[in-house]
C-alpha cells in the first residue's frame, strides 16, 4: 500500500454555502461589510482554502489563501476534513498474474455466493467491505449479469467490483513504455512503466453527458495545486468553485487527472469530465509523471461516445 504521508496536503478547506458570498480585502472590511473586492457566485459545489480563522465580536472570519476575508455567516457551511475512507491504490514491482479489483462503495458490505446469480440462496457468510482488494479468478454470466469468482466457490456481482486487467501491451502510439490507462467502464486507473504494471487504483470519471473523452493524450501541464471554477449552463446554475485542487495534471483541454478532496466515494462516474482521484493516489501519480506522459482513456463496454460532437474543449471536476 502507499505511504500515508502522500495523503497530506498543506491546505485547510471549508465548504461554502450555496448562496453567493462577498470577499473583502481586509479583516476590518469583512467585519464592516464594506469595500468587497470580489464575489463568489451561488453554486452547490464550492470550497475555499483558508490560512487562518479569526473571531471578531462573536463572529468567525476566514482568511483565504487566494486573498481576502470571508464572513462565515455569509459564506461558510462547515470546515471539512479530508476524505479517509479510501487509503489509496497499490504499487507493484512486477505485473500481477491475476485480474484484481476493489469493492465499490455501493453499500457497506457484500456477501459472496457459492454460485453466480441470485437464483440459488447459497450465500457463504463471507462479507467483503468497501474498498477491500479482491483477486478475480474467473467470470460468468447469470441472468444477463456478469459475476466474478473472487475465491474458491465464492462469487460476487461484477458491478460491485472495480476491476484491473493487467495488460503490458502499449496502446497504439505509445513508444516509450510509459503510460497511464484510464478504464471508464471499470472506473480504474493503471500506470505502466518499462513494460510492467507499477500502480493501480480506482477513480471517478465524467458522468453522462459530461463524459471523459476516450483517446490517447499527453499530460501538457502539471500543478501542485490550482483553482478550478466555471459553469456549463447558460444561467450558471451549475457553477462550481474549488480552491487549491492538489496534484492536477491537464491532458485533454480542461480535462485533468487530479485529487478531489470533495469526493468521499470513488469507483463510479461523478465528475464533469475530469478523472477524480484520492489525494494519496494523485500525489503518487504526480510524482511519477512528467509533462508529456501518455494518458490512454478507453471504455471496453463501448458505452462512452467517441464522436467529436459529444465533446467540447472543456472539462470540470
> How confident is residue 233, by pLDDT bands cut at 50, 70 and 90?
confident
Q: Is the pLDDT of residue 315 over 70?
A: no
Percent of the chain with pLDDT over 90: 91
- Residues 204 and 294 reside in one and the same domain: yes
- Residues 199 and 277 reside in one and the same domain: yes
What is the distance between the alpha carbons of residues 208 and 271, in angstroms, rounded to a whole number? 9
Domain count, the chain: 3
So what's the pLDDT on residue 237? 87
Is the CB of residue 94 less than 8 Å from the CB of residue 122? no
So what's the pLDDT on residue 232? 85
Choose one of 113, 133, 164: the last residue of a domain: 164
Is the CB of residue 130 less than 8 Å from the CB of residue 202? no
Question: Is there a domain that residue 34 lies in?
Answer: yes
So what's the pLDDT on residue 83? 85
- Residues 290 and 194 reside in one and the same domain: yes
Choose one of 50, 80, 110: the last residue of a domain: 80
- Residues 253 and 145 reside in one and the same domain: no
So what's the pLDDT on residue 247? 98
Beta bridge partners of 225: 246
- Residues 202 and 303 reside in one and the same domain: yes
Question: Is there a domain that residue 92 lies in?
Answer: no
Domain with 302, as residue range(s), is: 178-310
Q: Is the pLDDT of residue 78 over 80?
A: yes
Segment 256-296, tens digit of pLDDT? 999 999 999 999 999 999 999 999 999 999 999 999 999 99
- Residues 54 and 148 reside in one and the same domain: no
Model's pTM, two decimal places?
0.95
Choose one of 142, 164, 186: the last residue of a domain: 164
Instruction: Read off the CATH number of the domain in which 134 is found.
Output: 2.30.30
The three three-digit cell numbers of residue 275, written as one number: 478523472
The mean pLDDT of 217-241, rounded to a whole number, is 94
So what's the pLDDT on residue 221? 98
Instruction: Read off the CATH number of the domain in which 299 is found.
Output: 2.40.440.10
Question: Is there a domain that residue 53 lies in?
Answer: yes
Amino acid at each position: 500500500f502507499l505511504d500515508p504521508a502522500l495523503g497530506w496536503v498543506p491546505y485547510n478547506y471549508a465548504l461554502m454555502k450555496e448562496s453567493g458570498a462577498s470577499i473583502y480585502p481586509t479583516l476590518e472590511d469583512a467585519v464592516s461589510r464594506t469595500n468587497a473586492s470580489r464575489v463568489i457566485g451561488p453554486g452547490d459545489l464550492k470550497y475555499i482554502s483558508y490560512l487562518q480563522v479569526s473571531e471578531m465580536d462573536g463572529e468567525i472570519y476566514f482568511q483565504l489563501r487566494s486573498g481576502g476575508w470571508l464572513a462565515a455567516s455569509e459564506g461558510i457551511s462547515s470546515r471539512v476534513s479530508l476524505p479517509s475512507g479510501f487509503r489509496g491504490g497499490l504499487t507493484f514491482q512486477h505485473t500481477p498474474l491475476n485480474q484484481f479489483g476493489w469493492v465499490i462503495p455501493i453499500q457497506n458490505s457484500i456477501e459472496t455466493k457459492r454460485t453466480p446469480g441470485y437464483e440459488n440462496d447459497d450465500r457463504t457468510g463471507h462479507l467483503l467491505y468497501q474498498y477491500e482488494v479482491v483477486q478475480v479468478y474467473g467470470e460468468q454470466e447469470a441472468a444477463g449479469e456478469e459475476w466474478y469468482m473472487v475465491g474458491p466457490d465464492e462469487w460476487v456481482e461484477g458491478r460491485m467490483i472495480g476491476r484491473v486487467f493487467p495488460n503490458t501491451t502499449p496502446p497504439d502510439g505509445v513508444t516509450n513504455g510509459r503510460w497511464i490507462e484510464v478504464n471508464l467502464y471499470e472506473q480504474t486507473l493503471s500506470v505502466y512503466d518499462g513494460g510492467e504494471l507499477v500502480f493501480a487504483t480506482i477513480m471517478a470519471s465524467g458522468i453522462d453527458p459530461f463524459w471523459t473523452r476516450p483517446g490517447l493524450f499527453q499530460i501538457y501541464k502539471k500543478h501542485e495545486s490550482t483553482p478550478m471554477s466555471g459553469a456549463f449552463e447558460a444561467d450558471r446554475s451549475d457553477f462550481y468553485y474549488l480552491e487549491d485542487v492538489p496534484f492536477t495534471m491537464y491532458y485533454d483541454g480542461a480535462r485533468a487527472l487530479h485529487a478531489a478532496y470533495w469526493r468521499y466515494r470513488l469507483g463510479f462516474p461523478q465528475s464533469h469530465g475530469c478523472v477524480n482521484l484520492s489525494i494519496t493516489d494523485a500525489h503518487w501519480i504526480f510524482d511519477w509523471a512528467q509533462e508529456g506522459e501518455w494518458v490512454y482513456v478507453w471504455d471496453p463496454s463501448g458505452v462512452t461516445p467517441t464522436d467529436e460532437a459529444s465533446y467540447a474543449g472543456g472539462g470540470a471536476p
